[in-house]
């Protein structure tokens, strides 16, 4: 059984590397690397890491300490590259609207901070689990940032480009999967190691397919800023609406409270 899984894992490794190279080629041929430089870098890092780990495992073996250290170090680089790609997607979603974009930056940063803090508090503090813990925290923060980004876009009625949506979706789903995988492997570390790697590869392959489909055509550069209103419009209008909404809510609250008292 384990031998079969290991064989399948090796095959998936090769498939993912080929799919990654194919996506890189597609990014180059369609010149989409100019539109998505951070995302291209992230895919490049993934391919480079896969190839380098192949040689590392051949040299030192899969279970050696050296391989373990190199493996986690490259994972750190990969997560940072993914975070950069996510920032790029966020910018493409919202940077046309400078007011909202400035607000979103603060909200998303705060969101990432809170999630990292939460991830730090919600775990057992053991040194041997430190790296998976940090990895999981970063993945959860990435997933949370993308979800908040989508919620933000929905709240303000913005319609991001289809490709940006697909890229963000792939990044988010893969990060969610890694959080689950890290959590399970944290609990059943030794028994789960082989399956953990395999499931991770399958999830990444699914994301690669989604991204390849999304990037099958050339994309245009981010649009120019929208024609903006004079600042005074917002400054005079927003507080007025809010005051009226507050009044409405206060009175609705009175109705609600009076009913509660009556019943």
> Among 21, 87, 131, 169, which residue sits at the site for other proteins (rule: CB under 8 A)?
169
Binding of other proteins at residue 230 (CB under 8 A)? yes
Name which of 63 and 128 has its Cβ closer to other proteins.
128
**Which residue is associated with the tokens 């480009």?**
161
Burial 228-241 (b: 16+ CB within 10 A, else e): eeeeeeeeeeeeee
CB 226 within 8 A of CB 185: no
Pick the closer one to other proteins by CB: 213 or 234. 234
Query: For residues 86 and 49, what is the distance between their CA atoms, to the nearest angstrom?
Result: 19
Check binding of 4 to other proteins (CB under 8 A).
Answer: no
> Are 196 and 135 contacting, i.e. CB atoms less than 8 angstroms apart?
no
**Dist CA 144 CA 111 (whole Å):** 7
The verdict on 255 binding other proteins (CB under 8 A) reads: yes
Q: Tell which one of 89, 143, 167, 208 touches other proteins (CB under 8 A).
A: 143
Question: What track of x and - describes contact with other proteins for positions 104 through 133 (by CB under 8 A)?
Answer: --x-----------x---xxx---------
Confirm if 199 and 16 have CB atoms less than 8 A apart: no
DSSP reduced 3-state for 225: coil
**Where does this chain bind other proteins (CB under 8 A)?**
96-100, 102-103, 106, 118, 122-124, 136, 140, 143-144, 146-147, 150-151, 153-159, 165, 169, 172, 176, 179-180, 183-184, 186-187, 223, 226-242, 244-249, 251-253, 255-256, 259, 263
């Amino acid at each position: 059984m384990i031998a079969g899984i290991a064989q399948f894992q090796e095959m998936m490794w090769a498939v993912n590397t080929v799919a990654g190279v194919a996506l890189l080629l597609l990014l180059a041929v369609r010149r989409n690397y100019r539109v998505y430089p951070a995302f291209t870098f992230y895919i490049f890092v993934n391919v480079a890491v896969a190839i380098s780990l192949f040689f590392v495992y051949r040299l030192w073996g899969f279970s050696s300490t050296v391989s373990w250290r190199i493996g986690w170090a490259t994972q750190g680089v990969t997560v940072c590259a993914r975070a950069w790609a996510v920032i790029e997607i966020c910018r493409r979603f919202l940077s046309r609207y400078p007011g909202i974009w400035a607000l979103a930056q603060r909200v998303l940063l705060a969101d990432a901070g809170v999630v990292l803090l939460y991830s730090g508090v919600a775990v057992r503090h053991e040194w041997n689990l430190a790296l998976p813990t940090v990895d999981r925290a970063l993945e959860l923060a990435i997933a949370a940032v993308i979800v908040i980004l989508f919620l933000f876009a929905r709240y303000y009625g913005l319609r991001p480009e289809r490709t940006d949506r697909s890229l963000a979706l792939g990044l988010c789903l893969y990060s969610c999967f890694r959080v689950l995988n890290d959590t399970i492997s944290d609990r059943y570390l030794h028994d789960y190691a082989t399956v953990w790697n395999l499931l991770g590869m399958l999830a990444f392959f699914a994301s690669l397919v989604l991204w390849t489909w999304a990037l099958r055509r050339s994309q245009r550069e981010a649009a120019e800023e929208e024609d903006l209103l004079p600042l005074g419009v917002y400054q005079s209008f927003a507080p007025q609406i809010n005051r009226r909404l507050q009044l409405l809510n206060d009175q609705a609250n009175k109705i609600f409270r009076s009913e509660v008292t009556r019943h």
